[in-house]
Chain A
Amino acid sequence: MLRKVAIISARQTTYEENKSDERFQEMCYPLVKECLEETGLDFVPGRGIDFGITNSDDFFDQRTISDGPMGDLVGTGRWGGEEKVATDGAMAVMYAAAGIASGHYDIVIVLAHAKESQVDSRNIVTFHTFEPFFTRFLGMDYTQALGLQAESYMHKWGVTEKQLAEVSVRAAKNGKNNPFAQRTDKITAKDVLGSKVISAPIRELDLYPVSDGAVCMILAEEKKARALTEKPVWITGYGNCYDSYFLGDRNLWESMSLSKAAWSAYRLAGITDPMEELDLAEISVQATYQEPMWYEGLGFSEPGKGMELFESKQTDTGGKLPVNPSGGQLCGNPLLLSGIVRTTECYLQLRGEAEKRQVKGAKRALAHGTAGPAGQFHAALVLENDEGGNR
């Protein structure tokens, strides 16, 4: 990036199963207001916010041009501009950063929203990602794809359902410390193994809960970021990558696209050993098997050793590299938004504002998002505070 870019403000809603009393705009407005109040900015191009990036999806909103109703919230009422990123939320952050780094804008607001409760997100929305000739007839959707990938991963490396249940147990334990989390009740491995099967071998408590929520964020170039906040969080690495489409064309137990996305980000941030050089990671785990599998893709462990790393407790809060101290997506956030929710959590951690879930002295963090069936697409961001270079 030819200019340094920082996140200078970020707000998120609580994540809930059904925010039926709020429309999209009502859900988002308090966040925008808080971000504007915190920074003192207004929607005046050149002297305030120059541009808006929204993040949503026509299918999730069941509305063509789903950014249409969101424009008013990001300052387009009087000739402002807005563009929509229609994939994982981390991409909206990355694209907002590109607008600033290109020199076109100095300050950009990002607004992401999704209300999965308004559509049958698991079985209808993601069903339509499958092409209409071969796979749609099979009734495929993302949960089916997750099931196939889980089988493949578990079979390849001899990981058991019992081992994976512990991933959910830890997530819920961490989620208890997160006031924004949706699934916070204490659960045991027995609860997980006794919950109903959604898509074998994945059970209800192995899987992220359907969720409503929103995130608002303001990004700025270096000089303005310094003027607007004491604690800017810098974007020092970015990467994203597509894998092939048909599940049969991929080795489902490994992820080429995750490795590529992550190592692009690490290279830019000057990281050669992520396990040593990151202070925390917030990763998008949609189902329990992804926790060890993503560790492998992210280079935290060797292939096949992800479960071992999890069980070593090194990724627990207080361990060598805490992963998902917020509880992660297993504790609830909309599917589409996971990457930007993870980014927000890293932002809070790097500013020392993560309260009960704070990782002490965090200076450099990884935020990860994924999209597509069984992690076809991955996005990774390395974020640092002013101490990031002095590790």
Chain B
Amino acid sequence: MTKRMRNVAITGIGQTRHRGHREDINMVELVSEAVEEVLADSRIDLKDIDCIVHGNMELFEGVHQPDMWHVLGDGAFGKAGYRITTGGTTGATLACTADHLVASGMYENVLAIGWEKQEEGMTTTGITNMADPLWEREIQTGAITGTHGVMMMNKFGEPANQAAAEIRVLMAENARKNYKAHLRIDITREDVLESRVLAWPLRLLHMCPESNGACAMLFSSEEQAKRLPQKPVWMHDHITVHRQETFDLVNMGDLDTHGEAARVLYARNGIVNPLKQIGVFEMYDPQSWWALDWIGKFLMFENGEQIDMVLNGDFAIDGKFPLNPSGGVVSSNPIGATAIIRVAEAALQIRGNAGDHQVPREVDLALASGFGGTFWTVLLLLGKDKPDK
């Protein structure tokens, strides 16, 4: 456990309905929808928030330093604010940022806002632009890659193919219970396996959508949390793990930032059996092949045990280890918000008011992960009870 100077609680959660088209509103209005909801959820007055944390991916919408314009809708006028961006992990990083800012004693109530209005730009162009202009840009395909799928297929054969499709079907089932999710589709394993190939064996239905959405979360000191009416969800720990920039094409499957993050976080927090001790996991799953591989990494499986678990239905909302009851990233993906939605959904499950996609049991500890950059991981641990100081 890292030393924490003081406890930090999640005291409010707000999200837009994540949708593919929101021509009816502009970016500021999108952000303000989430902010209005977090204010209503936490019952805090805007004047009691002393700091706003803001993040997205600038080149997706083509607005430079959008926090300046967003003052009109995010409540930052006359307040302190930080703009933090780390690619796909941005949302998870925003939660870490808010945790730091409150735990440091610098601020009492910090509002973290992740957002993206992807219909304003061309996402794959935006992502391709992250590769080194001299060495990698010509071969970049954004996030559309079949490499992990090929590896899983080579190692585990057809069962992996079936499991990757099955986990997508499960995500769709969960998303249909979550009215905020973007894709609430009714699909079968056959639909997934017959959908268009993007990069074999990655198919269209394996892949996350481009969504418009925002998520705002309020983080408060213990003293403030006592004052606010929502049941607090406590920040226990978080870790950020990166790796070297350039992709190592020979060894791409072992870019084990997820595994490293899990190992350190579990060791610091006394987690010896994540399957038993963690009540729910909101995992950043940009595509179902990655999801299938990454469950194994986070749960420290070595022989693809997750494949059978998927086919057994163990990851369902009422299963042994509920995974992404919200429907996950393959159902909603407003990139700058995507990772903070994981944290928000994990917190909702602990609070017990996630709505139709609430897991039918008490959740004491929840995990939320973010993924982005050149295989970066942010992993957060939230709890129903205060962490030991």
Query: Interface of A with B (CB < 8 Å)?
Result: 1-3, 51, 57-59, 62-65, 67-69, 71-72, 76-87, 91, 94-95, 97-104, 125-133, 238-246, 256-257, 260-261, 264, 371-373, 376-377
- In the complex the two chains form, is B132's CB within 8 Å of A69's CB? yes
A76 vs B257: C-alpha distance when bound (angstroms) = 11
Tell me how far the C-beta of A216 lies from the nearest C-beta in chain B, rounded to whole angstroms.
18
Q: Taking each of A65, A79, A257, which has the highest tally of chain B beta carbons within 10 Å of its own beta carbon?
A: A65
> Given the known A-B contacts A257-B78, A373-B68, are A84 and B85 also in contact in the complex, defined by CB atoms under 8 Å?
yes
- In the complex the two chains form, is B77's CB within 8 Å of A84's CB? no
* 22 interchain pairs, CB-CB under 8 A: A1-B106, A2-B6, A59-B58, A59-B64, A65-B57, A65-B87, A71-B373, A72-B244, A81-B242, A97-B104, A99-B100, A101-B103, A102-B5, A103-B103, A130-B69, A238-B106, A241-B80, A242-B71, A245-B68, A246-B72, A371-B65, A372-B65
Tell me how far the C-beta of B9 lies from the nearest C-beta in chain A, rounded to whole angstroms.
14
A244 vs B84: C-alpha distance when bound (angstroms) = 20
Binds A, one of B122-130, B317-325, B356-364: B122-130
Taken residue by residue from 36 to 71, chain B's Cβ proximity to chain A (1 for < 8 Å, 0 otherwise) reads as 000000000000000010010111101111011101
- In the complex the two chains form, is A242's CB within 8 Å of B93's CB? no
A95 vs B85: C-alpha distance when bound (angstroms) = 13
Set of chain A residues within 8 Å of B145, measured between Cβ atoms: none
| B345 within 8 Å of A (CB atoms) | no
A265 vs B76: C-alpha distance when bound (angstroms) = 18
- In the complex the two chains form, is B83's CB within 8 Å of A87's CB? yes
Nearest B-chain residue to A135, judged by Cβ:
B69
- In the complex the two chains form, is B84's CB within 8 Å of A76's CB? no
- CB-contacts of B69-110 with A (<8 A): 69, 71-72, 76-87, 93, 96-97, 99-106
Taken residue by residue from 1 to 27, chain B's Cβ proximity to chain A (1 for < 8 Å, 0 otherwise) reads as 011111000000000000000000010
Given contacts A64-B60, A81-B242, A97-B104, 11 further A-B contacts (CB under 8 A): A63-B133, A64-B127, A71-B245, A76-B243, A83-B97, A86-B85, A98-B106, A127-B64, A131-B28, A245-B71, A257-B78
Tell me how far the C-beta of A139 lies from the nearest C-beta in chain B, rounded to whole angstroms.
15
| B260 within 8 Å of A (CB atoms) | yes
- In the complex the two chains form, is B72's CB within 8 Å of A68's CB? no
| B239 within 8 Å of A (CB atoms) | yes
- In the complex the two chains form, is B4's CB within 8 Å of A103's CB? yes
A102 vs B133: C-alpha distance when bound (angstroms) = 37
Q: Taking each of B93, B240, B242, B257, which has the highest tally of chain A beta carbons within 10 Å of its own beta carbon?
A: B242
Determine the interface band of chain B, counting residues with CB < 8 A from chain A.
Answer: 35 or more
| B372 within 8 Å of A (CB atoms) | yes
Nearest B-chain residue to A257, judged by Cβ:
B78
- In the complex the two chains form, is A131's CB within 8 Å of B69's CB? yes
| B187 within 8 Å of A (CB atoms) | no
Q: Taking each of A80, A240, A242, A256, which has the highest tally of chain B beta carbons within 10 Å of its own beta carbon?
A: A242
Set of chain A residues within 8 Å of B3, measured between Cβ atoms: 103-104
A131 vs B65: C-alpha distance when bound (angstroms) = 10
Set of chain A residues within 8 Å of B230, measured between Cβ atoms: none
Tell me how far the C-beta of B264 lies from the nearest C-beta in chain A, rounded to whole angstroms.
8
List the 7 closest A-B pairs by CB distance, nearest first: A81-B240, A101-B104, A76-B242, A102-B103, A2-B105, A65-B87, A128-B64
| B241 within 8 Å of A (CB atoms) | yes
- In the complex the two chains form, is A65's CB within 8 Å of B373's CB? yes
- In the complex the two chains form, is A65's CB within 8 Å of B130's CB? yes
- In the complex the two chains form, is B4's CB within 8 Å of A129's CB? no
A104 vs B97: C-alpha distance when bound (angstroms) = 11
- CB-contacts of B218-268 with A (<8 A): 239-245, 257, 260
| B374 within 8 Å of A (CB atoms) | yes
- In the complex the two chains form, is B82's CB within 8 Å of A85's CB? yes
A79's partner among B58, B99, B100, B260 (CB-CB below 8 A) is B260
Tell me how far the C-beta of B336 lies from the nearest C-beta in chain A, rounded to whole angstroms.
11
A97 vs B132: C-alpha distance when bound (angstroms) = 30
Tell me how far the C-beta of A101 lies from the nearest C-beta in chain B, rounded to whole angstroms.
4
B129's partner among A63, A101, A260, A372 (CB-CB below 8 A) is A63
Set of chain B residues within 8 Å of A261, measured between Cβ atoms: 80
- In the complex the two chains form, is A64's CB within 8 Å of B79's CB? no
- In the complex the two chains form, is B64's CB within 8 Å of A125's CB? yes
A1 vs B81: C-alpha distance when bound (angstroms) = 16
Set of chain A residues within 8 Å of B241, measured between Cβ atoms: 79-81
Set of chain A residues within 8 Å of B87, measured between Cβ atoms: 64-65, 67-68
- In the complex the two chains form, is A104's CB within 8 Å of B65's CB? no
A83's partner among B78, B96, B126, B257 (CB-CB below 8 A) is B96
Nearest A-chain residue to B75, judged by Cβ:
A242
> Given the known A-B contacts A79-B257, A101-B104, are A59 and B59 also in contact in the complex, defined by CB atoms under 8 Å?
yes
- In the complex the two chains form, is A1's CB within 8 Å of B78's CB? no
B69's partner among A78, A129, A260 (CB-CB below 8 A) is A129
Tell me how far the C-beta of A134 lies from the nearest C-beta in chain B, rounded to whole angstroms.
11
A87 vs B82: C-alpha distance when bound (angstroms) = 8
Tell me how far the C-beta of A27 lies from the nearest C-beta in chain B, rounded to whole angstroms.
15
- In the complex the two chains form, is B81's CB within 8 Å of A242's CB? yes
- In the complex the two chains form, is A67's CB within 8 Å of B86's CB? yes
B84's partner among A69, A83, A130, A239 (CB-CB below 8 A) is A83
- In the complex the two chains form, is B105's CB within 8 Å of A1's CB? yes
A131 vs B63: C-alpha distance when bound (angstroms) = 7
Set of chain A residues within 8 Å of B68, measured between Cβ atoms: 129, 242, 245, 371-373, 376-377
Tell me how far the C-beta of B257 lies from the nearest C-beta in chain A, rounded to whole angstroms.
7
> Given the known A-B contacts A59-B64, A79-B242, are A101 and B78 also in contact in the complex, defined by CB atoms under 8 Å?
no
- In the complex the two chains form, is A244's CB within 8 Å of B126's CB? no
Set of chain A residues within 8 Å of B96, measured between Cβ atoms: 83
A129 vs B68: C-alpha distance when bound (angstroms) = 7
- In the complex the two chains form, is A126's CB within 8 Å of B64's CB? yes
- In the complex the two chains form, is A241's CB within 8 Å of B79's CB? yes
A125 vs B62: C-alpha distance when bound (angstroms) = 10
Nearest B-chain residue to A58, judged by Cβ:
B58
Nearest A-chain residue to B238, judged by Cβ:
A104
A373 vs B245: C-alpha distance when bound (angstroms) = 33
